[in-house]
Amino acid sequence: MRIGLLGYGVVGKGVYDEASKSHEVVKVLRRHKEGELFTDDINEVLKEKPDVIVECLTNTPVAYEYIKMALEAGIRVVSSNKAIVASHYDELLKLAKDNKTNISFEAAVAGGIPWLHALCDLKHNDKINSLKGIMNGTTNYILSKIFDEELSYDECLRKAIELGYAEADYSSDVDGIDVKYKTCLSGNVAFNASISLDDIPAYGIRYLDDYTLEYARAKDYVIKLLGYCDNANAFVLPFFIKKGSNIATISLNYNCTIVNTEYMNDITLIGQGAGRYPTASAIMLDVLRPLDNLATDNRLNIANDKEMVFYLSSGKGVDQKYIAKLIPSGAVLTKKLPVHKLKDIVKDGIFVGGFYD
Ligand code: HSE
């Protein structure tokens, strides 16, 4: 396979190392060009007419243009860029189809786990009911270190950045935006849809405080940030999970994705969700076998009517009619409410969590 590589950062270098073992990397786009292999001009890469362009750039606006240029030239694209693919899903799939080529994005969700391939494969003979999981390595690393080793949030965040797990702007990790993109892409693939990112509320772990940690520990919970999607609900939310449950044991940069289907009930996949070689490995899977069975024609109504009890780290300003229980720290447990109600009752600076069953 002749590969044109865009980007030579954490993931790009990983792809180069993995790909060059049995394929030919014909050109690499990077800012600092040196020698024949490297260029800072996208046209130099396209001119090589590679079989596939692998996009691992961090500069989003430029990457979006380059992906389109490659597809318009009829060249297959593999991208790990969840923000771009989730934000322009319809457009990019159509552009690929119009140019008789394809775009594949396994590495955009759940790092090295062949998750989107599994969803595509399952759809051939089964029906997907719902999906959920730990889809962010950075926050899982932080949360598991906090619970297992009692380290501080700031210390764990710093370490996750050092290890190359976090996004260039780590807000995307800790505020649940990264998982929003991944939930959107997983839902699109599972339900042949093109879910709007605006329909997916995302609550992260930025406001996790000591009182909430105390509450969780006293009740034998850990906290995990989960993405969830079915054909009427899509959201990102931290969950209190009983220590004994399987998903509670997933630690460090590992992700855990669970798909529920008509014939199989739950299928669980566990693997590294971030880092150079796990991500490069998902990219190489796309290079060798692109995602198939993708469509966008199913118009879902994501009303987020799913009801559950929520923990809010402060009940200040929350209407009494929504509150079921006061906790001495000032936190509250709500009555069973639909997820969409959260936008009316969760004020900025408050940690919100659901309860996993
Ligand atoms: N920042 C992301 C994570 C990288 O921590 O999961 C992989 O998508």
pLDDT tens for 311-341 read 999 999 999 999 999 999 999 999 999 999 9
Summarize the confidence of residues 300-315 as an average pLDDT.
Answer: 98
Distance, CA of 85 to CA of 78 (rounded, Å):
10
Q: Cα–Cα distance between 195 and 298 in angstroms, integer?
A: 9
Query: Which atom of ligand 1 lies closest to the CA of 139?
Result: 5
Q: What is the pLDDT of residues 250-287, one digit of tens each?
A: 999 999 999 999 999 999 999 999 899 999 999 999 99
Condensed to tens digits (0 to 9), the pLDDT of residues 202-245 reads 999 999 999 999 999 999 999 999 999 999 999 999 999 999 99
Cα of 52 vs its chain's centroid, Å: 23
Beta-strand relationship, 103-104 and 76-79: parallel
Q: Taking residues 45-72, what's their average pLDDT?
A: 95
Confidence of residue 32 (pLDDT cuts 50, 70, 90): confident
| Residue 170 CA, ligand 1 centroid: distance in Å | 9
Ligand 1 geometric centre to CA of 226 (Å): 13
Asked if residues 66 and 50 have their Cβ atoms less than 8 Å apart, the reply is: no
Distance 181 CA to ligand 1 centre (A): 11
Q: Ligand 1 pocket check: which of 84, 116, 138 to mutate, most ligand atoms within 8 Å of Cβ? A: 138
End-to-end CA distance of the chain: 46
Helix or strand or coil: residue 2? Answer: strand
Residue 349 in this model has a pLDDT that exceeds 90: yes
* Buried/exposed code over 293-330 (b: 16+ C-beta within 10 A; e: otherwise): ebebeeebebebebeeebbbbbbeebeeebeeeebeee
Q: Ligand 1 pocket check: which of 10, 136, 205 to mutate, most ligand atoms within 8 Å of Cβ?
A: 136
Q: What pLDDT sits at residue 33?
A: 81
Active site residue 182: yes
User: Using CA atoms, how far apart are residues 166 and 161, in angstroms rounded to an integer?
Assistant: 5
Contact call for residues 273 and 134 (beta carbons, < 8 A): yes
Catalytic residue selected from 182, 316, 335, 347: 182
**Two tokens, residue 130:** 């719902």
Ligand 1 atom closest to residue 172's alpha carbon, by position in its atom list = 1
pLDDT value at residue 356: 97
In Å, how far are 174, 176, 220, 242, 276 from 206, measured between CA atoms? Answer: 6, 9, 21, 21, 25
pLDDT at 59 over 80: no
